[in-house]
Amino acid sequence: MENVLKKRGLMIGLLVLAVAIYFMSGSSLPVLFTSGPLWTYLVIIGIIGSGYMAVKYTLEDRKIDEEWIEQEGQVYMERLEEAKKKKNKLS
């Protein structure tokens, strides 16, 4: 889990660095927004937002799966204990 968070932090840092380099290249903000059609910027924002949400919900889903697996493992261990007790009573 910590490894995923480190990777996510690294990706965000690289994105911020890329944006900073772009702005330091000499282009002004009005030129940025008038250099292309508005829908392209909306698509780029949508892609970034979609990627963020995919990572967020993948991590959340993985956490829920791990909790469910733990619960099922506990039920299995309880069944094994009961079977051992019954076997010991019979012998």
pLDDT tens per residue, range 31-50 = 666 777 777 778 888 888 89
Q: Please give the pLDDT value at position 37.
A: 77
Q: At a CB cut-off of 8 Å and minimum separation 6, what does 4 contact?
A: 59
Sign of CA dihedral 4, 6, 9, 13: negative
Write down the pTM of the prediction. 0.51
pLDDT in tens, 47-84: 888 988 898 899 999 999 999 999 999 999 999 999 99
Greater model confidence, 75 or 24: 75
Phi, psi of 34 (to 5 degrees): -100, 0
CB 41 within 8 A of CB 33: yes
At CA 32, angle to CA 29 and CA 34, rounded to 5? 110
Q: Which residue has the tokens 């949400």?
A: 53
**What pLDDT, in 10s, does the model give residues 6-17?**
777 777 877 777
Backbone angles phi, psi at 45, to 5 degrees: -60, -40
DSSP 8-class letter at 28:
-
Give the residue carrying structure tokens 């698509």. Answer: 43
